[in-house]
Amino acid sequence: RAGLRPETPGAERQYFEERARAEVGWNTWLSEDMLTHALLPHGLAVALSFNAAGLPPLAMLGKDGPKCNRVDFPATHGLHDTRGQYTEISSLDFDGASYRVESAAVGGQDLYILVTLLSGEPTASRAD
């Protein structure tokens, strides 16, 4: 019955081995969610969310995990190192203000995230 075991073709096996070597450390691995940083292969994730009174949060945790609504909350991607050592959202508009979100991964285990107010003042923080 040894002949009935499925064999993985060499090219497919090589693909998965190279992918496993490449997908390590901090990075924004979820292409549909530009605010979640994941540590692979451990499966730990840090999901950033922008919230304001009376508005839905920018990143919503739903049954399928965190999502970023790009229609309601436009953002411009900036620099992004393929290994995740540096990522940038150069402009993210939310609640009347514009932000830059940068991340840096040092040594594959340490993650630093910097959110900078570029312009405007969040509407929710203004006194009426």
Confidence of residue 70 (pLDDT cuts 50, 70, 90): low
Q: How far apart are the first and last CA of the chain?
A: 77
Q: Give the list of residues 6+ apart from residue 101 with CB closer than 8 angstroms, or none.
A: 35, 48, 88, 89, 92, 113, 114, 115, 116
Whether pLDDT at 63 is above 50: no
Element containing residue 19 per DSSP (H, E) = helix 10-22
Alpha helices of 27-107 — where are they, by DSSP H? none
Q: What are phi and psi of 38, to 5 degrees?
A: -115, 145
Highest mean pLDDT among 10-24, 34-48, 100-114: 100-114
Look at residues 34, 33, 42, 25 and name the one whose alpha carbon lies nearest to residue 80: 34
38 exposure class (CB count in 10 Å sphere: 0-12, 13-18, 19+): buried
More confidently predicted of 77 and 110:
110
Write out the two tokens for 120.
């405007």
Whether pLDDT at 124 is above 80: no
